[in-house]
Structure 1
Amino acid sequence: MISATKALAVVAAATLPCFALAQPASSTLNRVQQSGTLRVCTPGDYKPFSFEKAPGVFEGLDVDLMQTLAAALQAKPQYVKTSWSNLMPDFVAGKCDIAVGGISVTLERQRQAYFSAPYMINGKTPLTRCENVARYQTIEAINQPAVRVIANPGGSNERFARTHLGRAQLRIHTDNVTIFDEVIKKNADVFVTEAAEAIVQSKAHPELCAVNPQKPLQYAEMAYLLPQGDDVFKHFVDQWLHLSTATGDFGRVRARWLQE
């Protein structure tokens, strides 16, 4: 019996030749089909979405999904390492066809790129040592002069901290992989990140607890960055995402990495 992933790829592949005749020559879809390579930008430091476990070797929810998208395009994924600070400059410079890895939908990013249809609601959630969960239930409780907040640079976590936690003591930690150790070691009190990451890291570090991840402090959506103005490629990615959800393929990948 053919799997849902393979079935999706077969259906998409069967329809691509006819579709390709009608698409503009400048479309990313046309370039990916001709080259056989889907270039994927990702910071690779954000579990469970994308994590570089060895140089050039990535794993995670978005990585698995990019495998199925590339298959639907009759291509192979090629990962381009970036950082949260350089994500938009690298993407706008044309270093990749799509950017993934737990990217929050923001109006600032929307000015420079398209977003795919959102595939997850994933709002801001405090991550703290378990003995402090009762202390950091709200933005007001965290936004106090005595509270030491830590954030990683260049993304929506830093933006949230600077926008909503201006009274707290804010420290920017450049390594998103070791930022959790800073909270464990009591060098920081709170790290406000996305609910999915807070859940995954609380499971990986028993000392840490996600504070009300089912009721985030701020609403947020996750989506993929796509080239601005390329409606053909956006429509294809959105349709692939819709079919992945409808067939249950997305749900199986999500369950594997989030274990909700």
Structure 2
Amino acid sequence: METEVLHRIIKSGALRVGITGTQPPLNMKNKSGEMIGLDVELGQALAEAMKLELVLVESPFSNLLTGLEAGQFDMVISSMTITPARNARVAFAGPYLISGSSLLTRSELAKTLLTQASLNSPERSWAALEGSTGEALILEAFPLAKFVGIEDQEAAVAGIAHGEIDGLVADLPFVQFQIVRNPELELATLASPFTTEPLGIALPPNSPLFSNLVQNYLNTLEYTGQLIQMKARWLNAGEWLSEMP
């Protein structure tokens, strides 16, 4: 029965949230190995509202939707864009943040990327998380460039610094975070993101009661200003930067 999803979650006493843990500042691990970030705080707020224990289940980004469909977790909060293709597979609550796919690259290279042709060149290599909207953008907009599928965005940043790849297409908050965090790498982005994307909470298909409850709680966090405070805390370079390894 469709109604069993919410009843099962309440009965279990836990809210299992699928998350990568590698998408700062939305989700990442601090020096102590503790998961922190906007996605984590949002998950905690939802769990507390439902009087449930928050259980974070780490997974590669490319496995998040299949894991949700298989029942490995109850929802996904991991910088995931709401798209028609994804929404055809699972439900979404939100959006809780408006972001966009942006390019992270070396400063000297960014100065030369002024045209579509300069981005869509066989000489260029662009990386993105496998299964992400960044991957879809590269394959569609820059088919002549080399696409490099990755599971770890942090490793891709090192690849940019070492000249192994030319750039990474990722969510704007991640790109901005890396530029601030690594001034010695002389990283940069373009004048504006490639896209505007709504980030949402992925939920099991055929779970109308659970989806309705999550959306209502999300609306409450928005209306009371709590969600705005969360965004300000994590999207601006704050005290949490000192907690990063």
TM value normalised by structure 1: 0.83
Q: Distance in 1 between matches of 2:70 and 2:31?
A: 26
Is the aligned partner of 1:126 residue 2:126? no
- Residue 79 of structure 1, CA deviation: 1.0
Q: Distance in 1 between matches of 2:14 and 2:98?
A: 29
Percent identity reads 26
Aligned positions, number: 235
Q: 1:238 to 1:151 in 2, by over 3 A?
A: same
Q: 1:247 to 1:138 in 2, by over 3 A?
A: farther
- Residue 126 of structure 1, CA deviation: 1.0
1:87 to 64, 67, 90: 64
Is the aligned partner of 1:193 residue 2:145? no
Q: Distance in 2 between matches of 1:98 and 1:151?
A: 23
Match in the other structure for 1:245: 222
What is the root-mean-square deviation of aligned Cα atoms in Å? 2.1
Q: Distance in 1 between matches of 2:3 and 2:145?
A: 52
Q: 1:168 to 1:93 in 2, by over 3 A?
A: same
2:22 to 45, 48, 65: 45
Match in the other structure for 1:4: none
Is the aligned partner of 1:151 residue 2:128? yes
Secondary structure at 1:79 match in 2: strand
8 Å CA contact 1:138–1:217 kept in 2: the answer is no
Structure 1, unmatched stretches of 5+, are 1-23
Point out the more displaced range, 173-182 or 90-99: 173-182
Match in the other structure for 1:33: 10
User: Which residue identity is paired with 1:257?
Assistant: W
Is the aligned partner of 1:259 residue 2:232? no
Q: 1:25 to 1:224 in 2, by over 3 A?
A: closer
Q: Distance in 2 between matches of 1:54 and 1:104?
A: 28
- Residue 57 of structure 1, CA deviation: 3.3
Secondary structure at 2:78 match in 1: coil
Is the aligned partner of 1:61 residue 2:61? no
User: Which residue identity is paired with 1:40?
Assistant: V
Q: Distance in 1 between matches of 2:207 and 2:31?
A: 33
Q: 1:158 to 1:72 in 2, by over 3 A?
A: same
Q: Distance in 1 between matches of 2:89 and 2:127?
A: 28
Q: Distance in 2 between matches of 1:229 and 1:34?
A: 19
Larger radius of gyration: 1
Match in the other structure for 2:201: 224
More strand per residue: 2
Q: Distance in 2 between matches of 1:56 and 1:31?
A: 30
Q: Distance in 2 between matches of 1:126 and 1:70?
A: 34
Is the aligned partner of 1:210 residue 2:206? no
- Residue 71 of structure 1, CA deviation: 0.4
Point out the more displaced range, 173-182 or 244-253: 173-182
- Residue 120 of structure 1, CA deviation: 1.5
User: Which residue identity is paired with 2:121?
Assistant: Q
Match in the other structure for 2:113: 136
Secondary structure at 2:104 match in 1: strand
User: Which residue identity is paired with 1:27?
Assistant: V
> For residues 179-213 of structure 1, what are the alpha-carbon distances to aligned partners after superposition, in whole Å with 9 as ceiling and x for unaligned?
1011111222221111111111111111212222x
Is the aligned partner of 1:176 residue 2:153? yes
